Structure 1
Amino acid sequence: MASKVFLQLQGKATQASRVVAEYGSSYYKQVLEKNRHYVQEPPTVEKCSLLSKHLFYTRIASILGRYETLQKELDSVKQIWKNRQALRVEDAGIAALFGLECFAWFCAGEMIGRGFTFTGYRVSTLLSFEDAGPSEFGYRLQGRNRRETVSPTGDGRKKPEADDYT
């Protein structure tokens, strides 16, 4: 069963590589020719450095406009807050849903940052110092707050400390 799936996958990969080999270079040339007016001539390191400086200072120049926009948005929120007695239930519901969506995106980012876990950071994978050499760090974390001392002889043996759970 697994070999049949593997052969199907291999056939699809071979077919995709043929399509890319046949049409990839012509597509690349077509896109490059269509957008030639965006290409800087000559394409040198100095030109790239100049363009990056242009981008950097253009972004800095746009900060003032962004700040003014932020001030306008904050003023409108303050105005709504002052007139909150006239606020409709629909508007409050939309604002609550927006806040909930922001919180959900925050939680999703936290889960991604934790390595796609729901409960917490995997400290044992973050603080494993085995590759650093024997007794260079003295101990490493194992599991949930369990500390083991690294053997100073470098033979790979690890002995648990008397106070395993700190």
Structure 2
Amino acid sequence: MKKITKVCVATTIAFSTLLGASVTGALVQQPTAHAATSSYYNYDGYAGQNASFVLDKHFKNAIKAENVKFNGIKIKSTTSNKSVLKYDQYFRNVSKDGKTASLLDMEVKGQLSLTQLKKVYSKELQKIDNGNNNTTGIYYYQPKQNGMTVWFDVNKGKVDRVVLGYSTVQQAMN
């Protein structure tokens, strides 16, 4: 009888160990899903009074991802002619539903320097040649060809105006 009990106990232990190992192995091999994330930037309120957000790496990354929203209006290519003023921001080419606009224009009047822009945007910051010195003119950051662009109107090393969106420089800076 002792022999049968020993065999039963040994069989039970062996079977339990085998079953436990196979269940554990099945749990370990389960694939995991990872959600894709995209950079975005959402700003609410007056922007021109504290324009330091354009120096934020999250803002720069959101421009690359073309995922920027100001005061509930997403900056996206549109074909409308409607304009809207919200807080201190002037939105141009606003869609009929008021949820998208091609351009965002705001005055920042000397809060930012060209040196600060160059530090953040480095070689990606381009200047439109106007024949003037390097501290006055239109500078821009456009990470993708025909993509979202940020234009900086610089006068004597200080940024006076920021325009963000989809357009030609002539339309954006008028």
TM-score above 0.5: no
Greater RCO structure (CA 8 Å; 6+ sep): 2
Structure (1/2) with the larger helix percentage: 1
Q: TM-score range with shorter-chain normalisation? A: under 0.3
Structure (1/2) with the larger strand percentage: 2
